[in-house]
Homo-oligomer: A and B are copies of this chain.
Amino acid sequence: MSFEQRRGSPRGESEQMIGKTPAEAGYRMRAEWEPHERCWIAWTSEKAWQREWLEPAQKAIATLAKTISGFEPVTVAVRPSDVETARMLLDPAVTVWEVEFDGGWSRDIGPTFVVDAHGQIAGIDWQFNSWGYKLETYADDAAFAERLLHSTGLPRFAAPIVLEGGSIHVDGAGSVMVTESCLLNPNRNPALSRREIEVNLKQWLNVEQVIWLGQGLIDDLTDGHVDNLACFVSPGVVLALDCDDPADANYAALKDNIVRLSHARDAQGRSLEVVTVCQPTPIYDGTRRLSLSYVNFYLANGAVIMPEFGDAPESRPKGDRKDREAVDTLARLFPERTVLTIPSLDILRGGGGIHCMTQQQPLTFCFGN
């Protein structure tokens, strides 16, 4: 009858594969705003990060992990060769899990957790091909989700399609949001038609409604993950990245996505309420435009952990204060949550943001939710 006994996590059990799809077995992915048991983060890797980015990125990840640990337990996956450095930089409250990987980014290489009606939890282990072969070697990234599930003793659904966690956003109630530029990209599942991709999403995420956005951010190495573009913030409400400069390279794609969302219906047949937030001031790394987005935040228990990119008035020309506008928008959308910002440029250089860097494991027993 105690809380511990009630928890659904069969920690320490041996590996178990569920030979059905989540839809057949009655599991579903919860919305990110539902309570979490833990946040999973992956450290940097010399295999994928340029040498000069490593140290600043590690410091930024340590700040991110410590900040999230103020609201829920955090485990950071660290390659064996980096454990010493990581332990030095990470707050003692953060757990270190030693494991090999290539690029990291736990949103994309980690399992997608799903829960059944009895609070049993499992993870979907998607096929992973390094965002359409962006890294030459990715065997350890591809094995990451299975290793994580094995280490926690959680059952595993082995999905037959290539997919990254950052390319889907669900409302936990039957709807998923994806992009054509990523999910229909021939570098992912070339043998599958749009219709077959939809069937797979419905089976593996246990959803009824697929909402298609079009293109992603310019220069986005993920081919346009939805988690840089839009997300559900509550049932029937989405936040979408917007652009106020018609000359900007992202203008057409972002406006098209907002139009698509305003015409979309969710699994309940509702029109979506679309709230927008203007994209950050562009920042370049050489000729490459960084994929900056305020939509790429993480919802921790009771908190919103969002990026800041340093264009606050003290560091930029007057009037250029997108960071502050985004904070105000998120504070308005999540009045019950603490909104905290993390300076994120040093993470962004690695190709992803705060949402890409994190993966929530839902809390599988609680009253009232």
Contacts and interface: CB of A to CB of B under 8 A. Distances in A.
Interface of A: 1-4, 35, 37, 63, 67, 69-73, 92-93, 95, 300-304, 308, 310, 312, 314-315, 327-328, 330-332, 334-343, 363, 366-369
A332 B369 CA distance: 10
Contact of A1 (B71, B310, B328): B310
Contact of A367 (B72, B336, B339): B339
**By CB atoms of chain B within 10 A, which of A327, A340, A342 has the most?**
A340
Contacts of A338: 35, 301, 363, 366-369
Nearest to A326: B367
A67 B331 CA distance: 27
B3 A342 contact: yes
Nearest to A315: B1
B63 A69 contact: no
The 6 closest A-B pairs by CB, nearest first: A331-B368, A302-B302, A301-B302, A339-B368, A35-B338, A339-B367
A27 B369 CA distance: 35
Nearest to A38: B70
6 contacts: A1-B312, A4-B63, A71-B72, A93-B95, A338-B366, A339-B366
A340 B327 contact: no
A68 to B, nearest CB: 11
A157 B71 CA distance: 28
A369 B339 contact: yes
Given A1-B310, A93-B93, A35 B341 contact: no
Contacts of A70: 37, 72-73, 301, 363
A338 B30 CA distance: 14
Contacts of A73: 69-70, 93
Given A4-B63, A93-B93, A301-B70, A367 B340 contact: yes
Contact of A3 (B2, B302, B341, B363): B341
A221 B67 CA distance: 39
Nearest to A59: B2
Contacts of A310: 1
A331 B367 contact: yes
A332 B304 CA distance: 23
